[in-house]
Amino acid sequence: MRVKVSDYMTRDVATVLPSDTLGKARNLMLERRVRRLVVVEGKRLVGVITATDIAKALARRGAPWRWRDPENSLVGRFMTRDPVVTGPEESIFSVARVMSERGIGGLPVLRDSELVGILSETDVTKFFEENMRGVYRAGDLVSRRYGVVRHDTNIKKVARIVSLGHRVVLISGPDGRYEGILSEGELALWVPELAKRYVLIPSKSGRRLVLGTKVKSVSSIMRELRIKVTPEDDASKAARFMLEWGLPAVPVFDGERLLGVVDKKEIVRGVSRAS
């Protein structure tokens, strides 16, 4: 099967300038619901900045007397320069292998040095769901890089848990059942010190942006979790749930026992192995 990057890449790429502030970059991520922005100067690609980069920028602020409001720090200081790129004619399998081996969540797509799209983990997940049914069971792609917190846990504490290497955090309700989930990248956008302008509030019609609302507990920003899979389910079912519900991962249960999660990085790894 020969599937090209251009068949699944996102063409409407969210971009910023190196001279833009982290606050502007963060707000654009929230508005566009993305975790990665391509940094350009004119038509030239100069870097990539992710939600995790923003979180690390805050963590490096140092002593209080040296602290500069990270909202006003410049994208160019914290972006990844000369990022790995791909072309629209490349095989999606080979690009997935690069993403998996290098731990990259998305690659800008260039045609003759011109930015024409980006291939993200979500795009690869779409490919997996449509083309790789019957190749893997959910149990084949289970990751144990997750944390668990109570619904009333402070966001700062959750951030510390994520810093230990957990890609996602499952949130348990008052009855002990898992009722929510949050990814590393999503959490990075909710660092309280940066959440000065916009805040996303869950609503019956989805999520809405409001001004000036402070978020304290993880239950305020988690994504609701109403689904799960078993280790014998087709892994494409987990991919479909992630896409339909906008989830970063899906928990895998053997009866009442949590085995782990299938996340988009494991999906990309699965595509890489299939190549």
The reported pLDDT for the residue numbered 226 is 86
Among candidate residues 111, 131, 151, the one where a domain is terminated: 131
The reported pLDDT for the residue numbered 65 is 42
**Are 156 and 253 members of one domain?**
yes
Residue 115 maps to a domain: yes
Among candidate residues 97, 131, 165, the one where a domain is terminated: 131
Q: How far apart, in whole angstroms, are the C-alpha atoms of residue 270 and residue 180? A: 25
CA-to-CA separations, 165 to 28, 135, 147, in angstroms, rounded: 26, 28, 9
Contact 144, 36 (CB under 8 A): no
Residue 272 maps to a domain: no
The reported pLDDT for the residue numbered 185 is 75
Residue 162 maps to a domain: yes
The reported pLDDT for the residue numbered 68 is 58
**Are 176 and 105 members of one domain?**
no
Contact 2, 91 (CB under 8 A): yes
Residue 269 maps to a domain: no
Among candidate residues 131, 149, 173, the one where a domain is terminated: 131
User: Tens digit of pLDDT per residue, the chain (275 long)?
Assistant: 689 999 999 999 999 999 999 889 988 988 888 889 999 998 899 999 998 888 777 655 554 445 456 678 899 999 999 999 999 999 999 999 999 999 999 999 999 999 999 999 999 999 999 999 999 999 999 999 999 999 999 887 887 777 777 889 999 999 989 999 988 777 767 654 444 444 444 444 455 544 444 556 888 888 888 889 999 999 999 999 999 998 999 999 999 899 999 999 999 999 999 97
**Are 156 and 246 members of one domain?**
yes
Phi, psi angle pair for 130, to nearest 5° = -85, -25
Q: What is the DSSP letter of 233?
A: S
Q: What is the CATH number of the domain that holds 10?
A: 3.10.580.10
Phi, psi angle pair for 221, to nearest 5° = -125, -5
**Are 259 and 197 members of one domain?**
yes
Domain extent at residue 96: 5-131
Number of compact structural domains in the chain: 2
Q: Strand 146-150 and strand 223-224: pairing?
A: unpaired
Residue 270 maps to a domain: no
Residue 274 maps to a domain: no
**Are 201 and 172 members of one domain?**
yes
